[in-house]
Chain A
């Protein structure tokens, strides 16, 4: 439990991270650092995307699996790490120029 908290805190403290959401396989956000409405919105929308992406990868090659998904947009980037069974962590980051 403490490890989980620590991990989350570490991620949150990275530069450019706007928020972290943890969602379980049913689409319920377990932990979040954003406000409720946004969290729910994100959880619902992204769950379908992850399912689709995963099924695409699996269909092309059954031995393959989705490891990471990045949705890059003009303003920011959504990074999704899917777990087995649970869609997992989502991070909202703003892109930075180096």
Chain B
């Protein structure tokens, strides 16, 4: 039977898309398994897939054993024929080797080399431990620098001078800046705000009254003193005092008074001192106070720097006002803008005024022990570094901040930084000695960071500075003594000569001739004294130099 299925199609319909249609399934073929074949299964060992035929076989090689052990060289590489136990043979061999030409020459050469090295060894023990007592010193290769970190400007439109700055004592980076107008009679238009930076609180500060504000209470003045009892002129400086109640402060102003206040009761000062040198308490003759100084370690003494250039040292505990003024130091030609004791050596203090800065010792009242050269512009403020006893900072009217290190160089500042174009009016160093804030005429407070060379205390610094101050003090004492001697002599002599003259010439000269003679005498005396003083100073300088060499 032929199974044939015939499909007929036109040629033009070839390769046309088929249109499939679902239809029901139709069983075409059904083939069920044959039961008879399942009774006799045939086993066949045959891989299902056609692949390469491979076989596996194991073998074992002969192992190589390794042992590691050292070798003791007991005897040298003797040639084979010589038995090294045999003394005769070895000696004979040695002698033969000794006669070798090359041997002799090389021994001679090596001998000289060896001798040189031995002699070296004997001369110096060059491998010894040098410097074993010294510790490693940090070398400051970098020149000292001061980097400006921040400039805080006065937010008001009219620029006012930063007259005073103060760092918060708990090492927080809070800086309080007081603004005021230094130019007289312009205050009515200026607002009297002061600022604390890094807190951004605005406070009110009246110009002539002392106000007290508390950062904890918020942004309002807590109290202010009444006008009648306060200073009549601008208050230039206010300092907190150390007391049991912690509420005492005192202030100085150019009206010649120093007032003590208890801040709980600001309506009236607790005490009053008039800076009158004649000790009469006359306000009219009093000197205006510009700067105050108070050291916590000496609570009964304080110092006032005045407009006239004198520095007055006062005792607080004196009974009568007349005794309050202990002594004065004739300092500067102009106002003394800052007075501060050295935090490490309280007997010495620093003052600035007119064009130079001076360091004084308490004992010597006539002149300063160290003074800097007169600078180009006036110095407005100064302060010691709280970490280094020999470093202090000064600011000038030409906007320059000077850092002085008196152990290093006494004639010039160690570092001069031009901070701003206007004048700088105030400067304060933070307690850790690294940050300095200076306030300028235009109301900018600039924060500077000082290099570690100037803010890290060196070894022995305090003793060196103390020794230096002592030496200068001694020099001044000697000079003073000498001057006194000279003055005494001159006085005696002039008295003698005056007596003689009075006896000789009575009423013979007219006033002009008297005047002329008096002038001549005066100039000759001055010349003589100057010469003597110069000679004295030279002698004493030599002495001091010799003393230095000896110490």
Interface string of A35-54 (1 = CB under 8 A from B): 00000100111000000000
Asked if B106 and A88 sit within 8 Å, CB to CB, the answer is yes
Partner among B74, B99, B121 whose Cβ is within 8 Å of the Cβ of A77: B121
Beyond A77-B121, A96-B121, whether A27 also contacts B104 by CB under 8 A is no
**Using a CB-CB cutoff of 8 Å, which residues 50-98 of chain A contact chain B?**
67-68, 70, 72, 77, 79, 81-86, 88-89, 91, 93, 95-98
- Give the A interface residue count (CB, 8 A): 44
Residues of A within 8 A of B123 (CB): 98
Residues of B within 8 A of A68 (CB): 113, 117
Shortest Cβ distance from residue B88 to the other chain A in the assembled complex, whole angstroms:
15
Asked if B77 and A26 sit within 8 Å, CB to CB, the answer is yes
Beyond A1-B99, A3-B104, whether A43 also contacts B76 by CB under 8 A is yes
Shortest Cβ distance from residue B158 to the other chain A in the assembled complex, whole angstroms:
77
Interface-centre pick from A8, A28, A67 (highest chain B CB count, 10 A): A28
Asked if B107 and A22 sit within 8 Å, CB to CB, the answer is yes
| Complex CA–CA separation, A70 to B117 (angstroms) | 9
Asked if A29 and B76 sit within 8 Å, CB to CB, the answer is yes
Partner among A1, A45, A79, A97 whose Cβ is within 8 Å of the Cβ of B104: A1
Interface string of A1-37 (1 = CB under 8 A from B): 1011001101100111100001110111111000000
Asked if B107 and A98 sit within 8 Å, CB to CB, the answer is no
Partner among A10, A84, A98 whose Cβ is within 8 Å of the Cβ of B125: A98
Shortest Cβ distance from residue A75 to the other chain B in the assembled complex, whole angstroms:
13
Shortest Cβ distance from residue B70 to the other chain A in the assembled complex, whole angstroms:
12
Residues of B within 8 A of A79 (CB): 114, 117-118, 121
- Give the B interface residue count (CB, 8 A): 35
Shortest Cβ distance from residue B488 to the other chain A in the assembled complex, whole angstroms:
63
Residues of B within 8 A of A81 (CB): 110, 113-114, 117
* B111 close to A (CB within 8 Å): yes
Shortest Cβ distance from residue A70 to the other chain B in the assembled complex, whole angstroms:
7
Asked if A88 and B121 sit within 8 Å, CB to CB, the answer is no
Beyond A30-B98, A40-B76, whether A7 also contacts B108 by CB under 8 A is yes
Interface-centre pick from A16, A23, A84, A95 (highest chain B CB count, 10 A): A95
Shortest Cβ distance from residue A11 to the other chain B in the assembled complex, whole angstroms:
6
Residues of B within 8 A of A22 (CB): 107
| Complex CA–CA separation, A70 to B211 (angstroms) | 82
The dominant DSSP class at the B interface is: helix
Shortest Cβ distance from residue B140 to the other chain A in the assembled complex, whole angstroms:
34
| Complex CA–CA separation, A77 to B75 (angstroms) | 23
Asked if A95 and B121 sit within 8 Å, CB to CB, the answer is yes
Shortest Cβ distance from residue A19 to the other chain B in the assembled complex, whole angstroms:
12
Residues of A within 8 A of B75 (CB): 40
| Complex CA–CA separation, A49 to B334 (angstroms) | 83
| Complex CA–CA separation, A44 to B110 (angstroms) | 20
Partner among B98, B102, B118 whose Cβ is within 8 Å of the Cβ of A93: B118
**Using a CB-CB cutoff of 8 Å, which residues 61-92 of chain B contact chain A?**
73-79
Partner among B77, B93, B122 whose Cβ is within 8 Å of the Cβ of A15: B122
Asked if A4 and B76 sit within 8 Å, CB to CB, the answer is no
Asked if B121 and A97 sit within 8 Å, CB to CB, the answer is no
Residues of A within 8 A of B128 (CB): 97
| Complex CA–CA separation, A6 to B4 (angstroms) | 130
Asked if B111 and A7 sit within 8 Å, CB to CB, the answer is yes
Asked if A86 and B106 sit within 8 Å, CB to CB, the answer is yes
Asked if A67 and B113 sit within 8 Å, CB to CB, the answer is yes
Beyond A16-B118, A77-B121, A95-B121, whether A27 also contacts B76 by CB under 8 A is yes
Partner among A31, A72, A83, A98 whose Cβ is within 8 Å of the Cβ of B106: A83
| Complex CA–CA separation, A75 to B218 (angstroms) | 77
* B1 close to A (CB within 8 Å): no
Shortest Cβ distance from residue B151 to the other chain A in the assembled complex, whole angstroms:
59
Q: Which residue of B lies closest to A24 (CB)?
A: B97
A11-B111, A79-B114, A89-B110 known; 5 other A-B pairs, CB under 8 Å? A4-B103, A28-B93, A30-B103, A82-B110, A89-B114
Q: Which A residues have a C-beta under 8 Å from some C-beta of B? A: 1, 3-4, 7-8, 10-11, 14-17, 22-24, 26-31, 40, 43-45, 67-68, 70, 72, 77, 79, 81-86, 88-89, 91, 93, 95-98
